[in-house]
Amino acid sequence: DIQMTQSPSSLSASIGDRVTITCRASQSISNYLNWYQQKPGKAPKLLIYTASTLQSGVPSRFSGSGSGTDFTLTISNVQPEDYATYFCQQSYSTPGITFGPGTNVDIK
């Protein structure tokens, strides 16, 4: 199985801050990396796919980059509705997709 790690596990940010979350795969996954946002009691929501493509309807303050084993999710100008947990997920090895452990973004 491809193992996914994320850092940090949690962070605090103020409105308007720029936030960067890192995801690392245990082996190269090309650009088969997706990002999800999850709010408490809700299902995850697809934000970004193939490392850098924004899902329809997702605000442009979200961006993704990376390839191979190292990826980043950036939220520029954090808004109140962005406080949530963010997960990366590899779709290189299927069946058997795997997720990172998540990064919780809360209010500073």
Partner 1 sequence: QVQLVESGGGLVKPGESLRLSCAASGFTFSDYSMTWIRQVPGVGLEWVSDISFSGTTTYYADSVKGRFTISRDNAKNSLYLQMNSLRVDDTATYFCAREYATLLEYWGQGALVTVSS
At closest approach, how far in Å is the CB of 43 from partner 1? 4
By the rule CB under 8 A, 49 interacts with partner 1 = yes
Going by C-alpha positions, the residue among 82, 89, 92 that lies closest to residue 20 is 82
Residue 47 CB, nearest approach to partner 1 (Å): 11
Q: Is 64 in the site for partner 1 (CB under 8 A)?
A: no
**71, 73, 87, 105: which one contacts partner 1 (CB under 8 A)?**
87
Name the minimum Å distance from CB 38 to partner 1. 9
User: CA nearest 19: which of 81, 80, 72?
Assistant: 72
Q: How far apart are CA 23 and CA 73, in angstroms?
A: 8
- Interface residue with partner 1, options 16, 57, 80, 96 (CB under 8 A): 96
If one asks whether residue 42 binds partner 1 (CB under 8 A), the answer comes out as: yes
- d(CA 96, CA 91) in angstroms, rounded, equals 8
Structure-token pair, residue 12: 């605090």
CA distance 14 to 95: 39
Binding site for partner 1 (CB under 8 A): 32, 34, 36, 42-46, 49, 55, 87, 89, 91, 94-102
